[in-house]
């Protein structure tokens, strides 16, 4: 183990909550950014997308976050209204919910019917 890795482990050991919170936030942000860019609002198999996410060698590892499993993380995304989540026999499917001002304006325009 390198000296810098040992120093990093000591820092984490001093205040694990701070690091877990930071990695949790960064993991979720990066995951959602990639999901929105690659798949937009299309329904996507969560496990397959997770494989895409971890293919980036600089990704944040889920074991550094507060979530113990992909299922737990996906359910969190559903509870928070970040993604629509469907559970099937095969596993979880996720659909990113675009809440940007532009998307909300488009939605209002398409739902508005002339009087």
pLDDT at residue 103, as a whole number:
73
Q: 4 versus 82: which is more confidently predicted?
A: 82
Percentage of residues of the chain with pLDDT beyond 70? 94
pLDDT at residue 37, as a whole number:
96
pLDDT at residue 106, as a whole number:
75
Residue 113 has pLDDT above 70, yes or no: no
Tokens of 22: 């930071």
pLDDT at residue 114, as a whole number:
52
Cβ-Cβ contacts under 8 Å for 38 (sequence gap 6 or more): 49, 52
Q: What is the pLDDT of residues 13-68, one digit of tens each?
A: 777 778 889 999 999 999 999 999 999 999 999 999 999 999 999 999 999 999 99
pLDDT at residue 43, as a whole number:
98
CA angle 43, 57, 54 (to 5 degrees): 25
pLDDT at residue 112, as a whole number:
60
- Alpha helices (runs of H) in the chain, residue ranges in sequence order: 3-14, 16-39, 46-54, 70-79, 101-111
Tokens of 7: 């120093």
**What stretch of H or E contains 44?**
strand 44-45
Query: What domains are there in the chain, each with its CATH number?
Result: 3-111 (1.10.10.2030)
pLDDT at residue 56, as a whole number:
94
If one counts every other C-beta atom within 10 angstroms of the C-beta of residue 38, the result is 13
């Amino acid at each position: 183990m390198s000296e810098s890795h040992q120093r990093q482990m000591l820092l984490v050991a001093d205040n694990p909550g701070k690091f877990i919170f930071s990695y949790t936030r960064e993991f979720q942000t990066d995951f959602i950014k990639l999901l929105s860019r690659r798949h937009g609002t299309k329904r996507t198999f969560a496990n397959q997308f997770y494989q895409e996410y971890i293919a980036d060698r600089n990704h944040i590892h889920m074991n550094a976050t507060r979530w113990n499993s992909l299922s737990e993380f996906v359910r969190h995304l559903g509870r928070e209204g970040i993604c629509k989540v469907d559970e099937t026999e095969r596993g979880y499917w996720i659909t990113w919910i675009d809440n940007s001002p532009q998307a909300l304006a488009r939605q209002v325009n398409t739902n508005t019917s002339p009087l």
